[in-house]
Every structure is written in C-alpha cells, then in structure tokens.
Structure 1
Amino acid sequence: MLLTDGEDLQKTILNAPIGICLLNGETLVAEVVNAKFLEVAGKPYEAIYRQFYWDAFVEARPYYEAALAEAVKTGEAYYADEVELMLIRHGQEEMIFVTFVYAPIKNEAGNVTKVAVWVLENTKQVTERQKEVAAKLAFKQERDRLQGFFMQAPAGICIMRGSELRYELVNPAYQQFLPGRKLLGRPIFEALPELVGTPLQEIILKVYREGEAFEMNELRVPIAEYEGGPATDRFFSFSYQPWRDENDKVDGILVIAFDVTGMMRVQQELDQQKRVYETITSGTPDLMYVWDLDYKFTYVNSALLNMWGKTWENAIGKGLRENGYEEWHAQMHEREIDQVRATKQSVRGEVSFPHAVLGKRVYDYILVPVLNAQGEVTAVAGTTRDVSDRKEMEEALAETTEELQAINEEMAATNEELAASNEELTAKNHELAMVNRELAAARQQIEESATTLRLAIEAANFGTWFIHSVTREFITDTRLKELFGYYPDEELSIEGALAQITDEYRGFVTDKLETAIYHNGDYDVTYPVIGLHDNRLRWLRAIGNLKADASGAFSAFTGVVMDITEQHLDEQRKNDFIGMVSHELKTPLTSLTAIVQLAHIKLKSNEDNFLASAMDKANLQVKRMSNMINSFLNVSRLESAKLQMTRKYLTWMNSSMRW
C-alpha cells in the first residue's frame, strides 16, 4: 500500500465504517484515529492520539507487539480473524472478539513509513454463533439422552413419524414383542398388516389426526411374532401420545406399550382357582368369611349367607352391624380384628348368634391373619362352626357333677397329705435359702479378696501371667510386657519372653519353666532381661504356681514378675564395697603379720616369757582377723559366682580331723 498525502485520504479514514488508526512507521505514534476505532477501543481520543501505540493498549502488547513489529520490518500485512481479546474499555476489563489488520504503508521508495491498523468488532456475531452452537449441542445431548432413556426403558417404546406413521425409533423392549419383524423405516400398517381393519387402526389414526392422547389396558390383539406366521391372541396395555414438531404440529405418535399376556393368564388362573375355592366352600356347613382391615366383609360363603338370610350383593362390602350383628357383638369382633392385625396371631372364641331359620345357635370360631409377601396383615379370615349340639352334650355332662363332687372330696384328703409334704418341702427350701445366703456371702468374700489381691499387685507394680499347659496360651498384663520391653498393644508369646533373657540365664529359666508346667516343680527364679524396644537391662524375679483345672483337661500356670533391678544393683554395690574394704584391710594386716612373726622369732631366745607369749597371742589374733576378712571376700565371691577353692591336706589323728 502506497502513501499518498492529501485531505481526501484523511477524510476517508475519519469517515470509514470500520476502525482505523494510522501509526508512524518508526515511532508507532498514532497520527490519525477515527471514531469507529475509538468505539472499538473503548478509550478516549487523547489516550490514543499522538501516543505510543502500546502505551494505549498495554493489555494487548504481550500478544501482538511482535506481529506489529514484523509487519513494519517485512512490509507484509498481518491478519487476525475473530480473535478473542481482553481490552480495558471504559475503565473495565472486557473480553471481545475482533478482526484486525496491521497494514504497512510504503512510500515511492518502497519504505514503510506508516502502518494502518484496521479493526472490526465481531463480539455480537461470534457470541450469537456460539449460543447457536451451544443450543444445537444441548439439543443433541437432550435428544441423545431421551433416546438413551427410550432404548433402556423396560417398557416397549416406539416413535412413528409422518402421515404414513413410519417407525423412526424402536427400542429393544418393543422389538422383543415382535422378534421376527423388521420395523424401522416401515409404515406401521405395512409392518403389521394384522392391524388393518381393526379398531386399533382407527384409534391410531385418530390420535394422529386429532392430536389427542389415548390409553387402553389389557387389550386383546391377534398378532403374529413373525411376519407371515400364525396370529395368536396377546394382551397389551397401550399409551398413544401425539408427537409434535417445533411448530407444535402433530407429525407422529409416541407409543408406550406393555405386554400383559402373562399377567392376564395368571389372572385367568386365579379366577379359575377362585371358582374352585368357592365351589368347595359353598359345600361346607362351616361358615367362612374374610374381613378387610376396615371391618368390611370381602368374602362370605353360601352357608354364612344362608344363616344371615342375605344374598352376596347385599352382604359384601358391608360391616358387621349392617349384616345384623348387635353392637356388643360387632365391637367384640372389631377388637379381635385389631388384635390379629397387631400380633399376627390367631384368635379363638365362642359366641351366640341368631340363625335366620334355626333360631339362636352357639358358634365356635377362629380368626387368622392373611399376610402379603412382605409379611404384613392385609385381611383377617375366619371360620365358624355350629357347636350347639356339643353344648347340649355339655349340659348333659353337667348332670354328673354330684358324682364328681364325691371324687373331689376324696381328692381333698389327698390334698391334705400333699399339703403336709409341701410343708416339709418348704422347710427344705428354707434350709436351701440359708445355704444360698452363705454361698453368696462366701462369694462376696472371694470377690473382695480378689479385689484386694488385684490392688496389691497393682500397688506392688508386679506383672502377672497365665499359661495354659496344653495350648501354651500366654496371657499377660501391660506391666509384664513393659518389663520385657514390649509395647502395651503388642502380643507377647512365651518364646518372645524367653528371647529377651540374656544368654547365660535363658537355658536355666527355660528348664525351670518346663519343669514347673509339666512336673509341678518349684518356680522361683531371678534372671536378667534386655528390653525389646528400650534395650534396657532389668533384673526380674518370677514366682509361679501350677493349679489343675476342675475339668482335669489342663492346668493353669500363673504367677507374678517383679522388677528387682535396684535391689540387685544395691547387692552388687554392697559386695563390691566388701571386697574393696577387705582388700584394703588385708594390706596392713599382711604387714602386721610379718612384723609379729619376726618379733616372735627374735623373742624365742629371749628369757622374757611374757613377750614371747604376747607375740603368740598377737599372731593368733592376726590370723583370726585374716580369716574374717577372707570370709567377707568369700561371701562377696559366692554371690558374684567367683568363689575360689583352696586345697588343704587332711591328717587323721586319734579318730579326729586336724587341718
């Protein structure tokens, strides 16, 4: 594009129907800005005119500065069609769609001296197009959802369109009605010629012509499963709904159908069974009837109708009072119906009622609940039998009461004897009660002792255990686990406990444990352990007792473990102290012994007997002190398992031993 100066060019730019901004090719300063450009930019004139272009459009600079620079450099125009752009218009951020061009303008020498920015806003057109696409997508999704519902529905569903009512949609359930027929794309009366000339054809055509829905239940339709096959009677429940286009004009029919042939056959079988049942019940002299939960008769047999002197039509659906029951009688049965309903248990009774022909009679009856599949009471059935003859026999039996009275007197004597026996039993029961109280007191003492023992064990900070002699089940408390370095929630086995005992003691403790469990040996051992998690050295003392179970099948080995680490360390410190003191005393004592012995040797030739005797006694006392110190050392060595053995020769003289 060549630049031609002149007023006509400027007028053309200012009056152009699209936004134009003319920039200096070197500085990119806006030299001409028309009103349409300001409308698209949404900025005041002074914010753009004679301003660096990217100062005016800072928000767009990161995206299009390079494109503008490339257009100036190469002289080739840059096109952007319907791009989404964020501009600050009228002081607010706004997303718009624009089509714009960076068009370089060259002089006669071919150099770019200006850049024309052409811009056209497409926000409205793009938004409307997006809405249209979204609407079409929503329509498609709704159509697909509806079609998916139709195809998965358990009912038979089809859509027939056009004046010929061609099958446009057939779901699997509908196709299952006619597995041997091709339906899609065919007019209904071509696919199902059996319907031609039937009332169903007129109904379908009427729905299409008049646009009114039609429903029918349990309609018999002679139709063949396979095209050309024999027609069989089948029963369907239909719903025909007019299908309308976008102009609300009927252009098809939506059909929802259920094959109820199986249900109709079951109903026919039930009707047949009902007729058989009525035939049976009508021939029995017993009265048979059914009430609903509102106390209305829903069934009565012929015998009951004869007793009432009524017909079926006059009795069914009526209550007790309407069928001649007195108020007290009606209330009694209503209470019994409520009782059966609440408890689901039968009720039996006897009552008088006037017979229409025979007069007042006595009846024995039983009422039972009628339950549905969920176990709920839906009705109450009853059977009543005329027991008037039996009552007459009972009256005859009443005449023998005097004879029975004599027998009762004899029984009274027997009862007196039984009373005496009862007194004896009462005394025994009293004695047993005393024994029970004593046992209860003993049990309470045992419980108190057990509580005292438990508190004592807890106060002494002992660990306790139980070992089953057969299964070797090892049950411990939290304190015992703590002594072996285990966490309270960890399982501790016998093997795990033995593993924490130091090597030099493990075999000894194992032998003592096995002997105690299987040979009832003593179990009082002291040994060191290393804690599993804390690696802490502890000295423990364990005391156990074996007791046979009352069943004789096993023995229970129980006991306690106490932490004697401090006592053991105190004992060790005492022994160390004794050893140290003994060694310290032995050094001067040795020197003293040598001096006494030298003095004794020198005094042998001395005539002073007193000094020689004194040295002998001093030597004897030094030996006693030396023996005493050695005894202390031996005690210390014995307790630390380091006792030294010294050999000495024995000489027998006059049947006595001399060292």
Structure 2
Amino acid sequence: MRLPQADSSWVGSLFAQAPAFIAIARGPTHVFEHANPRYHQLVGFREIIGKPVAEALPEVVEQGLVKILDEVYASGRAFAADGMRVLLQCDPSAEPVERFVNFVYQPISDGDGSCSGIFCHGVDVTEQVRATEQLRASEARYRALFEEVPTGLYRTTPDGQVIDANRALVTLLGYGDLDAFRAIPLSSIYANLDDRERWRSAMLRDDVVNGFEVELVRSDGTRVWVRNSARVVRDEHGAVLHYEGAVEDITRNKMAERALREREEYFRTLIESGVEMVAVLNGDGTLRYTSGARGGAGGGGAGRWAAAERVRRRPSR
C-alpha cells in the first residue's frame, strides 16, 4: 500500500534523517523505489533508483542477497541478519569494500495481503566488528603468553576460588586440567592453613605481597615449596575484585638448604663428640672454630691448642 503524498513526504523526511540505512524495493525483481542518504553512502553513491537490485548492485548476486530477497518476496516472511559480511563494489576501479551489517528485509503487504515489495532497514557495524576482532586477537595473544610462560600464574576470588590459572601452575600442583583445579577450595592446597591467613592479611594490608614462601600440597598428597608474589585488584569503589599473582617453584632450593643444614649439623655433632680438639682456621690464619675438647686419649690436647693459638696470633704475610 502506498502512502498519500503528504504522508509520503513526511515519511521521506524521517527516512532521510534516520541514522540507519533504509531502502524500499518493489516487485519481483526488487526495483529500488527509495533509498535514504545512509543507504547511498553504504553502496558508494551509485545510481540505483529505478533499477533492480541485481543490476544496481551486481556484486551482491553471488553473495546470495538477491536470493534472500526472492525468498522474502515469495514467502512473505521477514529475514534478519547480524554482522553479515558484504563486499560492495563502491568504486569500479578499486577492490570491493568489506562491510559488516545488521539488517532486516521486511515484506511490504498490499491491502489484499500479497507482497508488493521489501523494506530494508539496517546499520553498518563494521567498526564494531573490527574492534571485536582486534579484541579477540589481543585476548588470544594474551592467552597464548599466559599459557606458555613457565611461571605459574593465577587469578582467584577473595573467598578462595580459582578464576583462572595457567598450565604451569595446574601442572605444578598435579591437576589434570584447569577445571579440576577450579573445583577445589584453595584452602585445601595449603600444608599449613595459618600460612594462607598470614598471606591474606598481608594482601589486605599492603595490596601487594612479594616473595611469600609457603609449602603447598599437590593433588597426590606430595608437597612443594613455592614463592608467591601477588597483588590485589580493586574496583573504583575500593572493593576487592580478585587477587592475581605468580608462583615460582622453589622446592629444590628448599631441599638444598635443608641438606646443607643437616650436613653442617652432622659434622658439628661429629666434632663435638670427638676426643681430640679440632680447630678450623680462616684463610688469614685466625681461629674460626674449635671443638670443645682440649685433651684426650694419649694427651697432647693442650699442645695442639697452644699450636692453634700461635697460628691464630701469627700475622699473615
């Protein structure tokens, strides 16, 4: 149904000011009857009024848009698309322009219910789609770095639930995958729960904790020492959103330190329990350590002590 002239003029004015692209095509060949400035801009300001879509925009035929128009016209059912990729030959001497559009083809019914044309209404969302693609690419790069870095990385809630963790941390703690790690409360991985409370208190007080050494329990019950450095992430009102940090495996360091302490204690015990005096001198000849014994079987202890004293007092050359 066509609008009276006065109404047509008013509607045409609205179409011209609309921020969306709008076009009306009539008949089974979809002849352009009307297109607003946004639509003309979209297709490169080509002469399209009075021409069938296939003639005015020949590049869209192979892209299936004319077939969709045919189906809408024949069935009387609308068609809608979000973010559809369309290549438009706006300049015959240049490469087609890639655009992404949200649009609807709405059948126009006459008084008898038959379809006489199609109303097209849509918006160009190319910039939004490209921004989304760039964001996804950036997230993919971040995720790749997050997963491949050999240091354990994590993000957790204040109440002790895992939001995210990389492969290095999941493997370090002996879990098969991230979902399995997420399924446990963090309190269960601490060998000593007091350590978690000390860490949380320091985080809330300082917003950052560096080099916090703690013993954790792996999924199989074995233990591992780690150095945990983390920070608090807050919202604009100061409320804690989550904790995020890095975990370094220092188990070998701890084992080496313990072995050294045990070795030193062993030799100290061996020396202290001996019957002979033992003296350890520094490089400059001064006395560094002596055992408690100054005499013993066969005598001579005092003589050895005196000799050590003479060495200690002798000036270095």
Give the TM-score category using the shorter length: 0.5 to 0.7
Match of 2:28 among 163, 166, 170: 163
Q: Supply the distance in 1 between the matched residues of 2:240 and 2:31 (Cα, whole angstroms).
A: 48
What's the offset of the Cα at 1:297?
5.5
CA contact (8 A) 1:353 1:363 kept: no
Q: Supply the distance in 1 between the matched residues of 2:155 and 2:37 (Cα, whole angstroms).
A: 44
Q: Which residue of 2 aligns with 1:310?
A: 176
Deviations, residues 76-113 of structure 1 (Å, cap 9, x unaligned): xxxxxxxxxxxxxxxxxxxxxxxxxxxxxxxxxxxxxx
CA contact (8 A) 1:180 1:227 kept: no
Q: Which residue identity does 1:359 align to in structure 2?
A: R
**TM-score, length-normalised on structure 1?**
0.31
Q: Supply the distance in 2 between the matched residues of 1:232 and 1:298 (Cα, whole angstroms).
A: 41
CA contact (8 A) 2:169 2:247 kept: no
Deviations, residues 550-577 of structure 1 (Å, cap 9, x unaligned): xxxxxxxxxxxxxxxxxxxxxxxxxxxx
- 280 and 195 in structure 1: CA distance in 2 versus 1, 3 angstrom threshold: same
Q: Supply the distance in 2 between the matched residues of 1:307 and 1:232 (Cα, whole angstroms).
A: 50
Q: Which residue of 2 aligns with 1:361?
A: 225
Q: Which residue of 1 aligns with 2:154?
A: 289
Q: Supply the distance in 2 between the matched residues of 1:258 and 1:229 (Cα, whole angstroms).
A: 24
What's the offset of the Cα at 1:210?
0.9
Q: Supply the distance in 2 between the matched residues of 1:167 and 1:293 (Cα, whole angstroms).
A: 61
Q: Which residue of 2 aligns with 1:325?
A: 186
CA contact (8 A) 1:158 1:168 kept: yes
Deviations, residues 480-513 of structure 1 (Å, cap 9, x unaligned): xxxxxxxxxxxxxxxxxxxxxxxxxxxxxxxxxx
1:386 aligns with 2:248: yes
CA contact (8 A) 1:181 1:226 kept: no
What's the offset of the Cα at 1:391?
6.8
Q: Supply the distance in 2 between the matched residues of 1:323 and 1:292 (Cα, whole angstroms).
A: 13
Q: What is the aligned residue count?
A: 246
1:230 aligns with 2:230: no
- 244 and 354 in structure 1: CA distance in 2 versus 1, 3 angstrom threshold: farther
Q: Which residue identity does 2:186 align to in structure 1?
A: Y
Which structure is higher in helix share?
A: 1
1:559-570 correspondence runs (5 A): none
Q: Which residue of 2 aligns with 1:259?
A: 124
Q: Which residue of 2 aligns with 1:221?
A: 86
Q: Which residue identity does 1:386 align to in structure 2?
A: E
CA contact (8 A) 1:214 1:241 kept: yes
What's the offset of the Cα at 1:192?
0.7
1:212 aligns with 2:49: no
Q: Which residue identity does 2:228 align to in structure 1?
A: D
Q: Supply the distance in 2 between the matched residues of 1:200 and 1:291 (Cα, whole angstroms).
A: 48
Q: Which residue of 1 aligns with 2:64?
A: 199
Deviations, residues 631-658 of structure 1 (Å, cap 9, x unaligned): xxxxxxxxxxxxxxxxxxxxxxxxxxxx
Q: Supply the distance in 2 between the matched residues of 1:352 and 1:195 (Cα, whole angstroms).
A: 65
1:237-252 correspondence runs (5 A): 237-252=102-117
1:177 aligns with 2:39: no
Q: Supply the distance in 2 between the matched residues of 1:293 and 1:211 (Cα, whole angstroms).
A: 56
Q: Supply the distance in 2 between the matched residues of 1:152 and 1:363 (Cα, whole angstroms).
A: 63
Structure 1 unaligned regions, length at least 5: 1-135, 400-659
CA contact (8 A) 1:364 1:387 kept: no
CA contact (8 A) 2:208 2:230 kept: yes
CA contact (8 A) 1:180 1:226 kept: no
CA contact (8 A) 1:161 1:251 kept: yes
Q: Percent identity?
A: 25
CA contact (8 A) 2:162 2:186 kept: no
Deviations, residues 464-492 of structure 1 (Å, cap 9, x unaligned): xxxxxxxxxxxxxxxxxxxxxxxxxxxxx
What's the offset of the Cα at 1:307?
3.0
What's the offset of the Cα at 1:146?
4.1
CA contact (8 A) 2:189 2:216 kept: no
Q: Supply the distance in 2 between the matched residues of 1:378 and 1:166 (Cα, whole angstroms).
A: 60
- 228 and 196 in structure 1: CA distance in 2 versus 1, 3 angstrom threshold: farther
- 324 and 376 in structure 1: CA distance in 2 versus 1, 3 angstrom threshold: closer
Greater relative contact order (Cα < 8 A, sep 6+): 2
CA contact (8 A) 1:178 1:226 kept: no
